[in-house]
Amino acid sequence: MNRKLHLIGCAGLLLALSLPAAAQTQNEGDPIGDTVKKAGDIASQPAKDVGVAKTEIPPLLVKAGQDPYSLSGINNCDQLAAAIRELNGVLGPDFAVGGRKKESKAGKLAEAGSASVINSLIPFRGIVREVSGAAPAQRRLNAAIDAGYARRGFLRGTYQARGCKAPI
C-alpha cells in the first residue's frame, strides 16, 4: 500500500510540474479549473487502476442508460429544457457549430506526457486494470456516457420538433 501511495504522490508531483503548460490549452470557460480537474483525473488514474479509488457513474447517467428515449415526466418545453440542462451539467456542453477552442501544442504535449508517465507507473497496466475491476468499471462508465449523449440528442430533437423556444 505504501508503494501505491508513493507512486501516486510522484505522479501528482510530475503532473503539478506540467500544469503551467497545460493551463494554456484553454481559452474559454475556466482554464485554471479545467486544468486542475484534468490534473486530478490524470494523477488519480493509478489509484483507479489498482482498485484503490472507484469510478462512480453519476445517477443521471444511470437513469439515462435505463431508457434514453423516454419522455415520462416530461410534458412541456420547460421540462425538456431542464432535462437537457441537467445532462449538460453531467456531460459538459453540447456540440456547438463553429465552437472551436484554440489549443496550445505545448499544453497538449504536457497533458499527453503527464498521462503517459502516470500510466507507465504500473507494470502490465492492462492486466492489472482487468483484475482490479477498473477496466470493466471504465467500460460501464463509457456506456453510461454514451447513453447520456443519446438521451441528450433525443431530448434536443424532441425540443426542436415541438418548436420549443425556452432557453437551453
Residues 6 or more apart whose Cβ sits within 8 Å of residue 61: 90, 91, 144, 145, 147, 148
- Average pLDDT of the residues of the chain: 74
Decide if 49 contacts 128 (C-beta within 8 A): yes
Question: What integer is the mean pLDDT of 109-114?
Answer: 67
CA–CA separation, 69 and 66 (whole Å): 9
Decide if 47 contacts 135 (C-beta within 8 A): no
Question: What integer is the mean pLDDT of 87-113?
Answer: 76
Grid coordinates of 76: 412541456
Q: pLDDT digits over 13-54, tens only? A: 444 444 443 333 333 455 555 666 666 665 566 666 666 667
- Taking each helix axis as running N to C, give the angle between helix 31-49 and helix 134-161, from 0 to 180 degrees, rounded to the nearest 10: 140
CA–CA separation, 113 and 25 (whole Å): 14
Distance linking the first and last C-alpha atoms of the chain: 47
Indicate the pTM of the whole model: 0.61
CA–CA separation, 82 and 168 (whole Å): 7
Q: Could you tell me the residue ranges of all domains in the chain?
A: 2-95+102-161
CA–CA separation, 6 and 116 (whole Å): 17
